[in-house]
Structure 1
Amino acid sequence: MLAVKGGKIYTMASKRVIEEGIIFIDGGKIVDVAERAEIPAGVEIIDAKGKYIFPGFIDAHCHIGLFEEGVGAIGEDGNEWTDPITPHLRAIDAVNPADVAFKDAVKGGVTAVFTGPGSANVIGGQSAALKTHGRVVDEMIIKSPAGLKIAFGENPKRVYGEQKKSPATRMATAALLRETLYKARNYKLKKERTKEGEVFETDLKMEILCQVLDKKLPLRAHAHRADDIMTAIRIAKEFDVDLVIEHCTEGHLIADNIAKENVPAVVGPSLTSKSKYELKDLTFKTPGVLAEKGVKVAIMTDHPVIPIQYLPLLAALAVKEGMKEEDALLAITKNAAEIIGIADRVGSIEKGKDADIVIWDKFPLDLMARPDIVIINGEVVYKG
């Protein structure tokens, strides 16, 4: 057993902060969180007096392991540019745990990620939730699949328009997605009506889309512009499927609409140049505006767009531009976990959760803050 004692504990399970608490860890899990408790003899103790203790931070949208750091084109496995409809692709079949960005994540206090395909395709494939420490991806998986990537706007129309293929317009992007979901409905109905003993030909593309139709898997929609956000919401309502808006760059312009539809948003990466028209209204005000309207918000790096270790910095910049400090912290802990669908394991310091804990030398939204100790699954994986 391991005990972390003496630090100021932000459980993120509630607004309550434990000024000098104790966290007991055993078997990779948190077994107790207390203000005061006797520590049994023989228990290993980590003294965190004067430090800040948080659950490991969670990047709710990135491409870590799929676009490898310092490798170049040979390490890019996140976009299958040859077919706009590829729901059967799985991120875990391309993630390289040896990507040095995983070590950077740990050093930055990021202990879990949602990683997956890029936005070249209308339907890009299946994303996964992973821990950031492990030798093989199978040991790092929290949930796979954790979402099905879809994309609107400039990226798919540019990729396929240049090939003189569909989609070359926003109309075609929406039409292809809608057509594919109708095919999945028909496939699901045919499968349900197939009698025992009859031959039924399995279609891997349709199988994963059936999980979407059954609300076992959300659509994770790349959408920057306000009109693209509303198109994603329109199609999700038409097929009665779960949806998460990713990027949501112009979300502050239609915050009331997004809140009305009860759709969560993973916002960012906001620390970039306005490199294309879709980003003309890019601002760190967006997550705060959305949160104020009642939208469940997470903040992303979109790594490698923003290096993953700077996730706390992005939350701090959102606070600088008006987001409440508590909302910003939730956006990289509990909210992120809930949006991904892994809050039963991570995102807060609570009894029964995975022991993913970071001890900070300063408040983590302070630019000068550094993790002193990072614990994942109850194991100390980094000491600063």
Structure 2
Amino acid sequence: MKINMKKYTGFAGLMLYAGFAFGQATIIPSKAQSKPVAIIGATIHTGNGQVIENGYISFDKGKITGIGNAGGMDFNSGTTNIINAKGKHVYPGFIAANTSLGLIEVESGARGTDDQGDVGEINPHIRSIIAYNTDSKVIPTLRSNGVLMAQPTPAGGLVSGQSSVVVLDGWNWEDASYKNDIGIHINWPVVRTRGGFFGQNAAAPAGDPKEAQQKQISELESYFTIAKAYSELSKPAEFNARFDAMKGLFKGSKKLFIHVNTAKDIIMAVNLAKKFNVKPVIVGGTESYLVTDLLRDNQVPVILVETQTLPDRTEDDVYLPYKLPKLLQDGGVLYSLTGTGYWRQRNLPFEAGTAVAYGLTREQALSMISLNTAKILGIDKTTGSLEKGKDATLFISDGDALDMLGNKVESAFIQGRTISLDNLHKQLFKRYADKYELK
């Protein structure tokens, strides 16, 4: 078969070329669950702190129908697909929050493959969900490590837009959509000082950096004031898409995700949210451990970004990023963890595992990337932990899923559907293992 490559341009051409160049097989989205499934004999980590030894979990039509100790349980193999998982572990699917997964495909900056941001500074009406690409080659690599849900998030500007929650399976964004437009993201203005060689940095603002920050904060506050007034109108004289997108914040149906790191800026951000009576979530929060009382008392959760990194300041404890989850745990703050960008989200379970070496229990670390994340995203009533009546979004691992050596995902299910664990990495490994007769 001859393919006229001149017909295909931009992203479509790039993906078609990649498919032929690497001989990649297409990974087909899964079909709906057609038969009850029972996993028996495994160690079940429910995500809410409970561990069931020699457990069983059954599900049908995408929902968990039973969970507990497998002793004395008897399933009819004629009507139920029975999976013997003795010696293995069952986990709830991990959730990658605040990610560019499905929005960026090539990290080199090719504009045709980057849908994470838009032009302009104030874009609350931008919806990440409609740009989400279910055919991304990165998605299957995450599923292979147990990451089964995500929150594709817009970036850039002062007000970036709206994020949604998706399951990592589907033909298109409508199929993948789990909960749309859950919140609006803002990038808190920071004090930018001039640096670089000889103190020159073209990106730094001229004049007093503190005044520049305060000016942007004032602009943000002014915008919220007008948007709140618009939301209170029963019938606006003129429709405004940007203000209309903000309505959910003031009515309580959306959360305000504030990307901010320093303790001083976190305090100002929380106070702004309180002034307009909106529900804030801190994203980043590298100094959140300094203001745990404020966060706890105001019920402000934190999405930490990466533990396997260096601290922001040279005078900080070099192990501080590893210790942050434990510090928030001790401070009574609801917290979760996410990786950086999109492809590095596949390391999410190992980032959580690192926190175990610095104070968290294994089950606390598991909750950090499952139930805690679900609570912050407002989806914990239906997912995030393994409980009767919740979605059957889970996986079986041959070992400890938070350990790089133990994470060996053998089977995975999204809402009861058996999903493919094939990916481009595995295909390339097999390709060259066969070529060089490696075993």
1:98 has 2:98 as partner: no
Q: List alignment gaps of at least 5 residues for structure 2.
A: 1-35, 195-201, 423-439
The residue that corresponds to 2:170 in the other structure is 134
Decide whether the 8 Å contact of 1:77 with 1:94 is kept in 2.
yes
Match of 1:26 in 2: 60
C-alpha distance 356-83 of structure 1, shift in aligned 2 (>3 A):
same
Contact 1:154/1:278, CA 8 A, preserved across alignment: no
**Aligned counterparts of 1:96 and 1:27: Cα–Cα separation in 2:** 26
Choose the corresponding residue for 1:8, options 35, 43, 46. 43
The amino acid of 1:33's aligned partner reads: I
Supply the distance in 2 between the matched residues of 1:20 and 1:155 (Cα, whole angstroms): 54
Structure-2 change in CA distance of 1:331 and 1:69 (3 Å) = farther
Give the C-alpha shift of residue 155 in structure 1: 9.8
Residue 12 of structure 1 and its aligned partner are, at CA, apart by: 2.1
Distance 2:262 2:167 in 1: 31
Question: Shift in Å at residue 226 of structure 1?
Answer: 1.3
* TM value normalised by structure 2: 0.79
Structure-2 residue corresponding to 1:284: 322
Instruction: State whether residues 124 and 242 of structure 2, in contact with CA within 8 Å, keep that contact through their aligned partners in structure 1.
Output: yes
Q: 1:302 aligns with which of 326, 333, 340?
A: 340
1:334 equivalent to 2:371? Answer yes
- Alignment RMSD: 2.7
Q: Which amino acid aligns with 2:405?
A: M
CA distance in structure 1 between the partners assigned to 2:299 and 2:357 by the alignment: 26
Is 1:212 the counterpart of 2:246? The answer is no
Gaps of at least 5 residues in structure 1 are none
CA distance in 2, matches of 1:341, 1:45: 32
In structure 2, the residue corresponding to 1:135 is in which secondary structure?
Answer: coil
CA contact (8 A) 1:161 1:167 kept: no
TM-score norm. by structure 1 comes to: 0.89
Q: Distance in 2 between the 1:279 and 1:59 partners?
A: 30
SS across alignment from 2:91: strand
In structure 2, give the amino acid aligned to 1:177. Answer: L
Larger radius of gyration: 2
Corresponding position of 1:35: 69
Query: Residues 357 and 279 of structure 1: is their aligned pair in 2 closer, same or farther, counting only changes over 3 Å?
Result: farther
Paired residue secondary structure (2:321) = coil
Aligned partners of 1:113 and 1:131 also within 8 Å: yes
Indicate which of 301, 306, 315 corresponds to 1:264.
301
**For 1:17 and 1:147, how far apart are their aligned partners in 2?**
33
Task: Using the aligned pairs only, state the percent identity.
Answer: 29
- Please tell me the residue identity of whatever aligns with 1:124: S
- CA gap 1:2/1:265 in 2 versus in 1, 3 angstroms: same
Q: Aligned to 1:100, what secondary structure does the other structure show?
A: coil
Q: Cα–Cα, structure 1 residues 285 and 173, in superposed 2: closer, same or farther, change >3 Å? A: farther
**Counterpart mapping for 1:57-96 below 5 A:** 57-69=94-106, 72-74=109-111, 75-80=113-118, 82-96=119-133
Is 2:255 aligned against 1:233?
no
* 1:91-129 alpha-carbon deviations (Å, 9 max, x no partner): 0122111112211110110011112112x2111000010
**Kept after mapping to 1: 8 A contact 2:191/2:213:** no
Q: Which has the larger displacement, 263-272 or 332-341?
A: 263-272
- Equivalent position amino acid for 1:9 in 2: I
C-alpha displacement at 1:52, in angstroms?
0.6
Contact kept in structure 2, 1:224 and 1:278, CA below 8 Å: no
Tell me the residue number matched to 2:29.
none
8 Å Cα contact 1:122/1:176 also seen in 2: no
Q: Residue 277 of structure 1: CA displacement? A: 6.4
Q: Which residue of 1 aligns with 2:10?
A: none
Q: Is the 8 A contact 1:156 1:173 kept in 2?
A: no
Native 8 Å contact 1:288 1:324 kept in 2: no
Displacement after TM superposition at 1:367 (Å):
2.5
Matched-pair contact (CA < 8 Å) for 2:338–2:348: yes
Of residues 408, 414, 434, the one that matches 1:376 is: 414
For residues 278-324 of structure 1, the C-alpha deviation after alignment (integer angstroms, 9 at most, x for no partner) is 997762211210111100010111323x6111101110111222233
Distance change in 2, residues 1:96/1:153 (3 Å):
same
Asked whether the 8 Å contact 2:158–2:189 carries over to 1, the reply is: no
Q: How many residues are matched?
A: 373
1:330-351 alpha-carbon deviations (Å, 9 max, x no partner): 1111111010011122101111
Q: Aligned equivalents of 1:373 and 1:299: distance in 2?
A: 24
Aligned pair partner of 1:359 in 396, 418, 424: 396
Q: Secondary structure at the match of 1:169?
A: helix
* Rounded Cα–Cα distance in structure 1 between residues aligned with 2:247 and 2:356: 40
My pick for the range that moved more, 308-317 or 91-100, is 91-100
Counterpart Cα distance in 2 of 1:72 and 1:279: 33
